[in-house]
Amino acid sequence: MTAVEPGGVPAPVGAPVLAAEDVWKAFGEREVLRGVSVSLAAHEVVALIGASGSGKSTLLRCLGLLEPIDDGRIFLGDEDISDPRVDGNRVRARLGAVFQSYNLFPHLTVLGNVTLASRVVHKVPRKDAEARALALLERVGLADFANAHPDRLSGGQQQRVAIVRAIATDPEVLLLDEITSALDPELVGEVLDLVRSLAEGGATILMATHEMAFARDVADRVLFLDEGVIVEEGAPAQLFTAPAHARTKAFLTRFTA
């Protein structure tokens, strides 16, 4: 977790691992991101909050090079990955992404899903990839399902497998997009517990979430997006208890009323 200076403001944490500079994105006439700038340092956990349609998912997809941007720049380390000459597949291999839908391959076993990127993209020998995958599945209590297909698993189990698949390649940054929104309430906790353990283990995470209590407890910084603009950002203790902007206050009131 990030050190905090007096007053609850996150202390400087070194050069960004991932950064967006003045990013714009529109779909037709609708501007979804309007000059968004955000940076993420190594081992930092940043939560994106905001109403549905505020631009959180689009920002994550742009950062993961799953959507082209209209203007601005995106850096992974010191490389401008928004340069159209950059090999997007090479960049995406350095990132881990988990979205609302699990996106597991139904024809592959759990072990096959988890090891696919390691074997095919990173050329890790099957024996080594499977050993790491089994260790990770054991860590999240799913080793017994290694040879099962996804339709044998609950939603919470499938989402945990999706997270394990994302971290199996040791990504530089983990992008999480509302990963509990498609789950039944009783399954949310098991997925959030896994993310909490990853954060405590030093993972670098940028996550969009509607789980305010989780963001408050786990994130180093929280960014509030509204209509494609970062309205406010700060340490959770500050933003959740004493937001500076009326729009932030109005949004948070929905969760505390």
> Please, what is the Cα angle at 182 between 57 and 88, to 5 degrees?
35
Beta bridge partners of 22: none
Inter-CA distances, 228 with 28, 55, 66, 103, Å:
15, 5, 18, 26
pLDDT in tens, 87-139: 999 999 999 999 888 789 999 999 999 999 999 999 999 999 999 999 999 98
pTM of the model: 0.89
Range in 66-70, 118-122, 178-182, 192-196 with the lowest mean pLDDT? 178-182
pLDDT of residue 256: 58
SS3 56: helix
Summarised one tens digit per residue, pLDDT across range 203-244 is 999 999 999 999 999 999 999 999 999 999 999 999 999 999
Within a 13 Å sphere around the CA of 228, how many CA atoms are in the beta-carbon half? 14
